[in-house]
Structure 1
Amino acid sequence: MTAMRRISHGFASTAFEVVYLGVATNAMLALACLPLLVLAIGTNPAESWPYLAAAAALAAPGVSAAFTVFHEHGRSGAGPVRAFLRGYKATWRKALGIGAATAALLVVLLVDVRALAASALGVVVVPVLLMLSVLALAAGMLALVAIAEVPVARLRDVLRAALLLGVRRWYLTIVSLLIAAVQIALFANLPAIAVGVTAAAALYLIWANCRYTLRPVLPAAEPVTD
């Protein structure tokens, strides 16, 4: 009976900790990405896409800060709010550069796709451009995870590792992209649920998968558990 009480107490404590981690991360992420959320919910994306691209770049530090929360969970005594703020402070410059580069590249590629879709070259060029768009998005996600894991890493090295490992471990990259696609689709239909409930869970899965992708270049002192 005593053992059952101990197990129940431990389970309840763990469950509360996980719920608090998700709720706190969702709240901090929503604040950090507020301009993007307002534009995505309150405007027509077909008309406001330039502003959405800029807001997405500005939201990148919030994503890297959320990845920092997952990285520090269980490693330090800091709660998710402190970990988020610390991660934001440590990574915002690099994250903003990654977000801006990714958003700019996606805009250029997708505008070209639209311009060439109806042309004779479209059959050949459009699939290549779409593939490059997917690769840019994947490399951006991997780079944000990388700076959360190693904030002092040089941005050039981070981008190189993200690009090379994203291609080499393409099967893991596809998983991360599918998780992101499901979360985006959920946001399009149920934004309140996507922002308030599933955002942290989706980002955690992306973080864990991308971290495994980056395993060959992570410091030996920071082993990744299979």
Structure 2
Amino acid sequence: MSHEIYARVFTTAYALLATSALVVGASAPFLAVLLFTPVTASWPLLVLTAPSVGPAFAAAHAVFGSVARDDGAPVVRGFLRAWRRHGRRAAIVAGAASAVLAVLAVDVRAAWGTPVGAVAIPVLVVLAVLTAVTALVALTGVVEHPDVPLRRLVRACLFLGLRRAHFTAVSLVVLWVLAAAVGAMPVPALALLTGPALYVVWVGSRATLRPLRVVPGSEPDPRSVAAR
């Protein structure tokens, strides 16, 4: 192996591990509630702290993009700059998604075991999956298309997430595996797997957004995007 390959492997490994630590630190309020309190009793706190996850995910995606373009791109400074630049829009996405998911979870619990549940629960589950898919793609979209109005970007992400469902399905599976690993071994999983998992999500979401082409000064039309 040449020196360049060794350097690239080392740079990639460092970026993934450093991003893991940065994401965990930026998402500390949510992770603390998730790991150290009963979910059934603390779900309002989970909803309140969930917006902290959005800026962390978006900043991680920005770091991956910078490192992919330039091996020497700073990881820590890049993460902090991206967190400041995209944090507000990413927090709105994460907060809205967590609120919707909380409402859907309450509805599922209320409908469980009732006659209407057989019809309502599958619909609610589908809505929850669509919400999660849209939020995942949008957290990459706020980085890739920072000048697009958030409402239109979310609409385009919903259409593209459905149209390129194979990418979003892989992202959901990877995050499910990460969540299972965190439940079994919280510290090693968060330290070692967070960065690689988010890298896979970034690759999939970026591929999902590829048909979205925005001319400077214009806004994306979800209907035209979905037609591609």
TM-score by length of 1: 0.90
Deviations 1:98-147 (A, max 9, x none): 01110010011110000001111000110000010011011000000101
Query: Residue 204 in 1 paired to residue 204 in 2?
Result: no
Aligned to 1:43: 37
Q: Which amino acid counterpart does residue 12 of structure 1 have in structure 2?
A: Y
Aligned to 2:18: 24
Aligned to 1:186: 181
Matching residue within 44, 55, 67 for 1:61: 55
Contact 1:71 1:149 (8 Å CA) reproduced: no
Aligned to 2:90: 95
Matching residue within 28, 41, 64 for 1:34: 28
Q: Distance in 1 between matches of 2:132 and 2:60?
A: 18
Query: Residue 71 in 1 paired to residue 65 in 2?
Result: yes
Aligned to 1:3: none
Q: Provide the secondary structure at the position in 2 that maps to 1:120.
A: coil
Deviations 1:20-68 (A, max 9, x none): 1012111111110011121122111121111112212222111110011
CA RMSD of aligned residues (A): 1.6
The gaps in structure 1 that reach 5 residues or longer are 1-6, 222-226
Q: Distance in 2 between matches of 1:201 and 1:218?
A: 27
Query: Residue 111 in 1 paired to residue 106 in 2?
Result: yes
Contact 1:71 1:148 (8 Å CA) reproduced: no
Change (3 A) 1:218 1:184: farther
Query: Residue 13 in 1 paired to residue 7 in 2?
Result: yes
Q: Distance in 2 between matches of 1:212 and 1:56?
A: 25
Q: Provide the secondary structure at the position in 1 that maps to 2:69.
A: coil
Deviations 1:83-106 (A, max 9, x none): 111111111110111011100100
Q: Provide the secondary structure at the position in 2 that maps to 1:217.
A: coil
Q: Give 1:191 shift.
A: 0.9
Identity %: 37
The gaps in structure 2 that reach 5 residues or longer are 217-228
> Counterparts of 1:105-184 in structure 2 under 5 Å?
105-184=100-179
Contact 1:30 1:195 (8 Å CA) reproduced: yes
Q: Give 4+ residue runs of structure 1 displaced > 6 Å after superposition.
A: none
